[in-house]
Amino acid sequence: MIIFSLEMCTNIIIVFLCLYLATNNYYIVDGRITSISQDHEDLDLERHLKLINKPPLKTIQADGYIVDCIDINKQPAFDNPLLKNHKIQVSKLQKTCELLFRSKLNFLHHIFSCLQIFLRL
């Protein structure tokens, strides 16, 4: 019968634990066991969020709503590979509003803006 001392059992357990962690891509940080694949997933998620979250040009708060204005060419919808070379067509109403605001007849600027016009289809 083989009798192991407490120190020998502790050493054997530590060796097996180290072998297990070394073969399963785990490591210990601040007393926690962390997976390498989990860190890769976190990095992928952070990279994806940086691509999605565009910095707003302007933030408007009205009636309890917060609206972030993003450049039309940097809209998240146009990050889709199928829309990479998509040409954005401006409506006639938007062209009219732009001409109105650029002209000297800018008397309606304080009453409404083109962003507040909603078309009913």
Task: Give a three-class secondary structure readout of 76-89.
Answer: HHHHCHHHCCCCCC
Is residue 91 within 8 Å of 75, Cβ to Cβ? no
Range of the domain at 108: 90-121
Query: Of the ranges 9-13, 82-86, 107-111, 115-119, which one carries the lowest mean pLDDT score?
Result: 115-119
- Mean pLDDT over 59-68 rounds to 83
Q: Are residues 35 and 1 in the same domain?
A: yes
Q: Are residues 84 and 108 in the same domain?
A: no
pLDDT at 106 over 70: no
H or E element at residue 94: helix 92-102
User: Which band of pLDDT confidence, cut at 50, 70 and 90, is reported for residue 119?
Assistant: very low
Task: Report the share of the chain in percent with pLDDT over 90.
Answer: 0
Q: Are residues 113 and 71 in the same domain?
A: no
Average model confidence (pLDDT) for the chain?
70
3: which DSSP letter? -
Of 110 and 96, the one with more pLDDT: 96
d(CA 11, CA 23): 18
Question: What are 29's strand-pairing partners?
Answer: 32
